[in-house]
Structure 1
Amino acid sequence: MTETLTLRALNRATLARQMLLARTDASVPETVERLCGLQAQEPRPPFLGLWTRIAGFRQEDLHTALHERVLVRATMMRGTLHLMTAGDYLAFRTPIQPVLDAGLKMLGPRAAGLDREKVLPVARGLLEESPRTFNEMRSLLQAEFPDVNERALGFAVRMSMPLVMVPTQDRWGFPRTAAFTLAETWLGASPSEVSALERLAVRYLAAFGPASAADAQSWSGLRSLAEVLDRLRPRLRVFADERGRELFDLPDAPRPAEDAPAPVRFLPEFDNLVLAHSDRRRVISDEHRPGLTTKNLRVRATFLVDGFVAGTWETERKRKTASLRLRPFAPLPRGVVEELTAEAEALLAFTEPDATGFQVTSEPA
């Protein structure tokens, strides 16, 4: 008979994989590898995501890993930018390509006249000369293909070629207009052509399981992962959730008791914890899920209470004072507010080390 996992059991299992029950002593590359990447649509969130997961994390730890080319920031799962280990990027970039190809459909009528077989060799030549920002790349490609939409040219290159962003000494690792270069130039190797779908599925379960095939598809954008998980079935544990959905997991993966303590935690914008499942009730209620994404598709920063998303937060800097404002979904007990305040002050000390004052406030629920 299939064992049923409660919502709280799924919550605690996922938090354990995500290093949110207790901070880890692992290195930055080890942590990023265990997470199978961090969403990095913007430069700052990975720093905050690592701070909330690694004991004693420092900004320079991530800077060092980026400049030593152990980690890269590149387009990956769901066609979005991710922070990945170089090894994972080279292993998984090719299996993700169908997602990126499908993403080109977003161009619609703007793709008129676009011929990737002609555009990509020109783009490669430009990138072999020097790293390029996409503003620069679009301008140069437009000169070669004047009848094709400029945005379509740049987007085709971004989604079709294995590119990585070149880190700088900026505070959060990358300026708004960071340059891209060929992965083979930056890493000295090209993405593997060998299929790594089974390995990718296993790594997903290690970071986010127990999970359904639909969950894996939502995280990766790959419909083929459903077939892969079914093929791996003899090597996996199979559970059911309270709605009867079939869940897969690695046999020896951690599944703590559902009453395991879960400390308050702050998650940055775009954190994969709130994006990696089709059914996200294990971390956020269906009622509150729609409010996490803004009209321009930004995913808000959140905080966890007893393992579940209990609200959103944002920071502000005025002169020498750094402040963090909580926006809880429901009234918070005094003890929880005290825990959140202590954690928020530590977060502000990390993000604003030169501030002389910290302020934590909470809006009425």
Structure 2
Amino acid sequence: MTVLDIRALNRATLARQLLLDRADLPVYDAVAHLGGLQAQEPQEPFVGLWSRLRGFDPADLSDLLLRRAVVRTHLMRRTVHLLTAADAVAWRPRHDAMLRQRVLAVYRRELAGVDLDALAAAGRAVLADGEPRTMTGLARALPDPWSKLEPRALGEMLVAALIPVVQLPPRGLWRATGGARYRPLAEWAGLDPDQPATDGSAAQDGGVDQVGQTLVRRYLAAYGPAASADLRAWCGLAGLPAAVTAIRDELVVFRDQRGRQLLDLPDAPRPDPDTPAPVRFLPAFDNAILGYDDRSRIIDDAHRGLSVAGARVVLVDGRVAATWTVDAGTSAGTSADAGTVTVTPLRVFSRTDRAAVAEQGERVAALLSDGESQRVRVAGDAG
């Protein structure tokens, strides 16, 4: 069985994630290919798509949100993701049990003894008035006996687990601010919530996990070659072994240097490990890192904590080699450094690497400042 070393896996990951070469794809197609982008920080997907798409215009993503073609919703790992509306509708039923379990793990004491089905019905009744609601606003609008319970726990259980909802614009629009307000996903996507899904979106169809099989294929297309543990780390679902088994004949199998079995689509790109990899700036919580259980293909174990701490990172030769921030000015006004991108290396940069990082830093500074700044500062190299 062919063994893929870390560099081979790295180049495959970069190719699948559109980070080896910027792609000539419409924004909608890129969001679909990636299986969504992690988006709890509303502006981060813009950087993620800019790093992946040639000629990316932030207005294109904002337009998709306003047209309801893409949505912001809780899904994989109970985190907010930006997905196509079609994927959100199709995949949500398969995630319901996981979402409940994860919210209960946080609020088990506050929600002890609560009839979750009855709570969901009460929440839907409140949302039936057509008014957008904040999470706590939805909880506080519940009648007795729910009104006596802790609003944060009730609200998060409702919007993150019990009722498929979307976060409404202007949240998530380019350079816009606004708190999260929610409406039901089916309503927002133009579906009749009283009709059962007829597009294969049911979690189980005659005992065949069609959605699970789709998730496996889509994951491998954007993240493979990967182990079952990696798939589970991406979506948060533990119950996909049957789906993997059902399509096993479609897949090819490799091993990594740890001996783990890796699955992949036979015709998916696996570039030569010596393929040059350009510098890329990644946003906070990018799934190119978080979408794996074993993240060593792209980040050193010593820096793994950065990926869950919300650090923005820079890839040099395909691996996390620096963090980056951007100065947003001060509350009293715009500082002289506003719009300046500061890169902090995690290792020593060569002169060539430093120049490439500075060039990409200037471009990301221009993106984030609407062209008003191209300032970049590369801090002293890590010793």
Of the three residues 199, 219, 223, the one matched with 1:204 is 219
Tell me how far apart the structure 1 counterparts of residues 213 and 312 of structure 2 sit (CA, whole Å): 32
Distance 1:122 1:145 in 2: 9
Are the structure 2 counterparts of residues 359 and 308 from structure 1 closer, same or farther at C-alpha, using a change threshold of 3 Å?
Answer: closer
Q: Deviations over 1:76-105 (max 9, x none)?
A: 100000000111111111111121021122
Return closer, same or farther for 1:239/1:356 CA change in 2, 3 Å cut-off.
closer
Equivalence for 2:208: none
> Partner of 2:181 in structure 1?
179
- Identify which range, 7-16 or 95-104, moves more after superposition: 95-104
Q: What corresponds to 2:109 in structure 1?
A: 109
Map residues 19-58 of structure 1 onto 2, 5 A cutoff.
Answer: 19-58=18-57
- 2:207 is aligned to none
- C-alpha contact (below 8 Å) 2:38/2:81 kept by paired residues: yes
Residue 343 (1) aligns with residue 343 (2): no
Structure 2: how far apart are the matches of 1:223 and 1:304?
Answer: 30
Report the Cα distance in structure 1 between the residues aligned to 2:91 and 2:83, rounded to whole angstroms: 10
Q: Is the 8 A contact 2:340 2:376 kept in 1?
A: yes
CA contact (8 A) 1:216 1:226 kept: no
Distance 1:360 1:263, change over 3 A: same
- The Cα shift of 1:290 comes to 2.3
Letter in 2 for 1:258: P
Measure how far apart 1:155 and its partner are: 1.6
1:149, 1:356 → 2: CA distance? 45
**Distance change in 2, residues 1:19/1:354 (3 Å):** closer
| CA–CA separation in structure 1 for the residues paired with 2:273 and 2:167 | 40
Partner of 2:149: 148
3-state DSSP of counterpart to 2:110? helix
The letter of the residue matching 1:309 is V
Seq. identity, %: 38
Q: Which residue of 2 aligns with 1:163?
A: 165
Give CA-to-partner distance per residue, 1:278-334, whole Å, 9 cap, x none: 11111011122124433xxxx211000000111211110332642111121111111
Q: CA RMSD in A?
A: 1.8
Q: Give the distance between the partners of 1:52 and 1:357, measured in 2 at CA.
A: 16
Stretch deviating more after TM superposition (258-267 or 323-332): 323-332
The code of the aligned residue for 2:79 comes to T
Q: Distance in 1 between matches of 2:116 and 2:215?
A: 27
1:1-365 counterparts in 2 under 5 A? 2-103=1-102, 104-129=104-129, 130-141=131-142, 145-158=146-159, 159-168=161-170, 172=174, 175-189=177-191, 190=193, 192-195=201-204, 196-294=211-309, 299-318=310-329, 319=334, 321-353=338-370, 355-356=372-373, 358-365=375-382
Alpha-carbon distance in structure 2 between the residues aligned to 1:50 and 1:60: 12
* Letter matched to residue 281 of structure 1: S
> Aligned partners of 2:361, 2:294: CA distance in 1, in Å?
28
| Distance apart, 1:170 and its partner CA | 7.2
The answer to whether the 8 A contact 1:325-1:363 is kept is: no
Calculate the TM-score normalised by the size of structure 1.
0.94
3-state SS in 1 of match to 2:370 = coil
2:81 and 2:38 map into 1 onto residues whose CA distance is 4
Instruction: Output the CA distance in 1 between the equivalents of 2:148 and 2:137.
Output: 18
Aligned-partner Cα distance in 2 for 1:334–1:78:
40
Alpha carbons 1:32, 1:84 under 8 Å: kept: yes
Contact 1:314–1:325, Cα closer than 8 Å, also in 2: yes
SS at match of 1:353: coil
Separation (CA, whole Å) in 2 of partners of 1:31 and 1:72: 14
CA contact (8 A) 1:214 1:226 kept: no
Structure 1 gap segments, 5+ residues each: none
Contact 2:42 2:172 in 1 (8 A): no
SS in 1 for 2:269: coil
Shift of 1:193: 2.1
Give unpaired runs (5+ residues) of structure 2. 205-210
CA distance in 2 between partners of 1:223 and 1:174 (Å): 36
Deviations, residues 15-74 of structure 1 (Å, cap 9, x unaligned): 001000111110010000010110011101111101111111111100111111110110
